Amino acid sequence: MTKSFEGKVAMITGAASGIGEAAAILFAKNGARTVVADRDPDKGEAVAEAIRQSGGDAFFHQVDVADGEQVRGLIAATVERYGRLDCAYNNAGVGGPAAEIADTEEKDFDQIVAVNFKGAWLCMKYEIEHMLQNGGGSIVNTASGAGLISMPAIAIYSASKAATIHMTRVAGLTYAKRGIRVNCVCPGTVNTPAIHAMGIPDVENFFAQDVPMGRLGTPEEIANGALWLCSDEARYVTGVVLPVDGGRVA
């Protein structure tokens, strides 16, 4: 077990499953005191307990990232427990139903934008407020390859991720001289429970046929990208949009 994050505090949203769960476990394995943040208390607490059972230091905090007061409370709880926040991985997101622009329901639009874009903004807002007072830090957002290319079948999801990408770039520039680095990862299709819940026959091959590497990504591979961007090895990196997608966007 490496300890490159020894003495640091990392907070991951959407950490109860999939990419977020893999990231929480990975940050903890690398020595970070880890905050597991998610809407699902049962799964989230299970992830935190697994980290503790493996010798790490973690706690679960329930949060809806689309609610500003809850996000403020998440950062406050992190600082109260650990005294600081060094790394934040804003990973929480929703997919929503597949639909073109004219076929999207307003309620679906509102949910997708509230979680994927507003949620990332709220997390950054309160994380940055603390990091400015604490001498700096590193933030990574989860965007998507869908935010880099046009995908009409998931129009609003794609737009929400494109907005997150641009907000990441702006934040990276805004705070570059103030000790805060802001980057994002753009996962391709990842082998998580979410894709298997779609009910598509042979779902892995269905999606993998569009990937140059010929397979889906794993949650751990996306988490590794986020870990590197938060690490001191990436201390000269900010405002970067990193596809982790087996070559799909290229």
**How many Cβ atoms sit within 10 Å of the Cβ of residue 101?**
10
Q: Out of 184-198, 203-217, 233-247, give the one with best mean pLDDT.
A: 233-247
Residue 179 placed within a domain: yes
User: Is residue 4 in a domain?
Assistant: no
Is residue 2 predicted with pLDDT exceeding 90? Answer: no
Active-site residue numbers?
157
Greater confidence, 208 or 138?
A: 138
**Percent of the chain clearing pLDDT 90 (strictly above):** 88
13 has pLDDT over 80: yes
Please report the pLDDT score of residue 180 as a whole number: 98
**Which residues constitute the domain of residue 173?**
9-188+219-241
106 C-beta neighbours (distance < 10 Å), count: 7
> For residue 40, what is the domain's CATH number?
3.40.50.720
User: Residue 18 in contact with residue 194, Cβ under 8 Å?
Assistant: yes
- Total number of domains in the chain: 1
Question: Is 125 within the bounds of a domain?
Answer: yes
Angle at 240 between CA 211 and CA 123, to 5 degrees: 100
Q: In what order do the strands lie in the sheet with 87-90?
A: 58-62, 33-38, 9-13, 87-90, 137-142, 180-187, 241-244
Identity of the amino acid at 216: L
The answer as to whether 214 is a domain residue is no
pLDDT at residue 29 greater than cutoff 80: yes
pLDDT at 194: 77
Q: Report whether pLDDT(207) > 90.
A: no
Residue 117 placed within a domain: yes
Q: How far apart are CA 145 and CA 4, in angstroms?
A: 28
Say if 212 falls within a structural domain.
no
Which residue(s) pair with 138 in the sheet?
87, 181
Q: Which tokens in the block code for residue 87?
A: 């790394």
Residue 232 is encoded by which pair of tokens? 């001191």
- Rounded Cα distance between 9 and 164, Å, is 24
**Over pLDDT 70: what percentage of the chain?**
98
Tell me the pLDDT band of 53, cut-offs 50, 70 and 90: very high
| Span 204-211, average pLDDT | 88
| Residues 114-156 pLDDT 10s | 999 999 999 999 999 999 999 999 999 999 999 999 889 999 9
Residue 1 has pLDDT above 90, yes or no: no
Task: Identify the three-state secondary structure at position 134.
Answer: helix
- Can you give the length of the chain in residues? 250
Model confidence at 203, in pLDDT bands (50, 70, 90)? confident
**60 belongs to a structural domain:** yes
Structure confidence at residue 21 as a pLDDT band (50, 70, 90):
very high
pLDDT value of residue 71: 98
pLDDT over 80 (residue 198):
no
